[in-house]
Amino acid sequence: MAEAEEDCHSEAVREGDDDDENESPAETDLQAQLQRFRAQWMFELAPGGGSGNLESRPCRAARGSLLRAADTRGKQELAKEEKARELFLKAVEEEQNGALYEAIKFYRRAMQLVPDIEFKITYTRSPDGDGVGNSYIEDTDDDSKMADLLSYFQQQLTFQESVLKLCQPELESSQTHISALPMEVLMYVFRWVVSSDLDLRSLEQLSQVCRGFYICARDPEIWRLACLKVWGRSCIKLVPYTSWREMFLERPRVRFDGVYISKTTYIRQGEQSLDGFYRAWHQVEYYRYVRFFPDGHVMMLTTPEEPQSIVPRLRTRNTRTDAILLGHYRLSQDTDNQTKVFAVITKKKEEKTLDHKYRYFRRAPVQEADQNFHVGLQLCSSGHQSFNKLIWIHHSCHITYKSTGETAVTAFEIDKMYTPLLFARVRSYTAFSERPL
């Protein structure tokens, strides 16, 4: 049987060979074309092979669609940047007109579109008017460069005449020039410029007068006194900062050259009409203003009036607005490196006038009580500004009855009505103190 199977297999092989010999030239040409197609296909699949001249139509179409999509995205980015530019310039205009809260709103919308829109705008003039020393808080110069500049100015002063002078008069004058004053007197003048209200912005403006004033404005003693006034004994050591100026600029603190403002808007249901046909709805808007002072005092005011009418009243603590709450605050830094502000605020006591009309009638005595508000806020930064945002943590009311000494505490729930307080700098708040630093 094995021999029979071998005979069948040999016959099948011979028949296959006969079929190959009997193939027509057309079939042979088809096999050759198939081999060439396979070779070309393998060459195109190879890395880097055939991508230059053998690109197919689908590939060209795909690349064309990608180019069109990139062009569309580029146009969209340009349109978004142009919109952000318009909003930012509108915010600058509103700030110059005194509409601080509206300016903050436009600033926020512009930065939501393009976060760095502030650095993409070329001004024909400074948006803040004088444009000198506007942002000493946002000073982003490298500390090493500032130190080199300071040493360079000091060397130039040292290599002058035998008498050390901070500056030289540009024109000859018969009057005494300020460079004739001793260094101690000049430093006392600079302390008056800073004043007890820590007007460091005016100090930065003064440092741009000449090299000598620049050296005086970088005096470590001025910045050390400013740090002690803000943080007290908790800033005795410089670590981890390299200078007192760096500590004042980078360590979290509340700002004194403006007001923290928040705007709250909600809809309240009104009373139903007499005929029961409709019910009114009221849109309520009001503002919260918080003003901090370097000596630890704070003012808070809740009112529906616009910022342009309220902000000038918060310049000093001796305001005549009855609704203002006065108190004191302190800074606290937790283990999670979050700086918080805790304040205790009291309403101004009103002097009650005696009513002599009903002095012969006996009336029930009114129980006297002291009312205090305890506020907790978290200090943080947003955008390109530092320490310009306060987020509510807690708010409670403490009522102490004088007759019994008991205290009733009411804690308010922190909900959407407590919107964050955003900082608005006011130039008129500086240089009005009557005491030096």
DSSP string for 332-376: EE-TTS-EEEEEEEEEPPPPPPP-GGGTTS--PPPPPEEEEEEEE
Q: Measure the CA angle with vertex 329, ends 432 and 297; round to 5°.
A: 25
Which segments of the chain have a pLDDT < 50?
1-2, 4-6, 8-9, 12-13, 16, 20, 49-55, 125-140, 158-162
Task: Say whether domain 144-250 belongs to CATH 1.20.1740.
Answer: no
Give Cα 164 distance to the centre of its chain.
43
CA R_g for the chain:
39
Q: Could you tell me the pTM of the whole model?
A: 0.59
In this predicted structure, what is the pLDDT of residue 140? 45
| Residue ranges covered by each domain of the chain | 77-120, 144-250, 258-349+366-423
pLDDT value for 142: 52
